[in-house]
Amino acid sequence: MAEIIDLAVAWDWGYDSDFISLMDAECSRRGLRMSAFGAGEAAGITAALKSGTLRVGTFLDRAAPDEEPFAGLTAAMVTSGARCLNFPDAVRKAADKATMHLEFLSHGIAVPYTIIISPYTHERQVELSLEQLARLGRPFIIKPANTTGGGTGVITGAETLKDVIDSRKHHQDDKYLLQERVVPAELAYGRGWFRVFFVCGRIFPCWWDDVTHVYSEVTEHQMGSFSLSPLVSITREISAVCGLDFFSTEIAVNSGGKFLTVDYVNEICDMRIQSRYADGVPDRLALAISGLLADAASGARRA
């Protein structure tokens, strides 16, 4: 008889331990069995799925789905019929910021002025017109399309074409985005910059200071007082575009009151908790998210 795991979580980041514990506790409360495993156990889990000695109801991949040993594991989860939060093909699409930029534009989601340039290995020369540079303004932002986890490769204070040329050499096979820098409006509560979580249909807007990276949840009163309802509608539109079950996005309000999606889709959310890390997710919110993921596993079990 096959062993059954209701929620399987792959992880490879030590800071995820608190979040793993929260999910485990929420699963226990619902009478569900959860198992979390890293690279050392991935091959064994893959083999058990293929042999039919293990069945997984719901799978949450917080590791590297396109790198071994997790790539084989992810494929085995899909083949075995596990519900994937998030589905691998959607993750690959969402992780490419150049692709998301074009998708957002085609769906009418407002984004900063952006220029997409091809990988250095495809085209070594960069040609930008004076008009393009003027629209970017100074300073502007340079970011690789796919190599930006935790801000990797991102330059927030670029000034010249030389900055662009030098940056592209660091991730030579990646596309790059040159993006105008958005200065958020100063609202009575704080800077108008938000990180919004989408979890299985539920939306949780947070104030997220773009300088300190400190969170606080947006209250219902603040939603009305500061006319922040677009945070919800924009995030719902993003979910329809990217097709993910669990992600976060960053949305800023500029001085003209326009809502701009500035960091498109974070397909693996940083879930460090605030009680342990000053710039972590508020504990109450981390608990709520853990509960929703456990609910998703419970729903898959009933189905």
DSSP string, 202-241: EEEEEEE-TTT--EEEPPHHHHHHTT-THHHHHHHHHHHH
Per-domain boundaries in the chain: 3-86+291-302, 113-180, 184-266
How far are the Cα atoms of 126, 157, 201 from residue 198, in angstroms, in the given order? 37, 29, 6
- β-sheet with 246-253: strand ranges across: 215-217, 202-208, 193-199, 246-253, 259-266
Q: What is the pLDDT of residue 150?
A: 54
Residue 246's Cβ-count burial label (10 Å; 0-12, 13-18, 19+) is buried
Q: What is the pLDDT of residue 152?
A: 59
Q: What is the pLDDT of residue 130?
A: 81
Q: Per CATH, the architecture of 3-86+291-302 is what?
A: 3-Layer(aba) Sandwich (3.40)
Q: What is the pLDDT of residue 148?
A: 52
Question: How crowded is the C-beta side of 186, counted as CA atoms within 13 Å?
Answer: 0
Residues paired with residue 11 on neighbouring β-strands, in sequence order: 62
Alpha-carbon gap, residue 106 to 31, rounded angstroms: 44
Could you tell me the fold of the domain covering 113-180? Dna Ligase; domain 1 (3.30.1490)
Alpha-carbon gap, residue 302 to 97, rounded angstroms: 36
Local confidence pLDDT in tens for the 303 residues of the chain: 789 999 999 999 999 999 999 999 999 999 999 999 999 999 999 999 999 999 999 999 999 877 888 989 999 999 999 999 999 999 999 999 999 999 999 999 999 999 998 887 887 777 777 888 889 999 989 999 886 555 556 888 888 888 887 888 878 888 899 999 999 999 999 999 999 999 999 999 999 999 999 999 999 999 999 999 999 999 999 999 999 999 999 999 999 999 999 999 999 999 999 999 999 999 999 999 999 999 999 987 776
At 129, list the tokens.
Answer: 């017109």
Q: What is the pLDDT of residue 187?
A: 94
Q: What is the pLDDT of residue 112?
A: 96
Alpha-carbon gap, residue 213 to 160, rounded angstroms: 27
At 156, list the tokens.
Answer: 């927030």
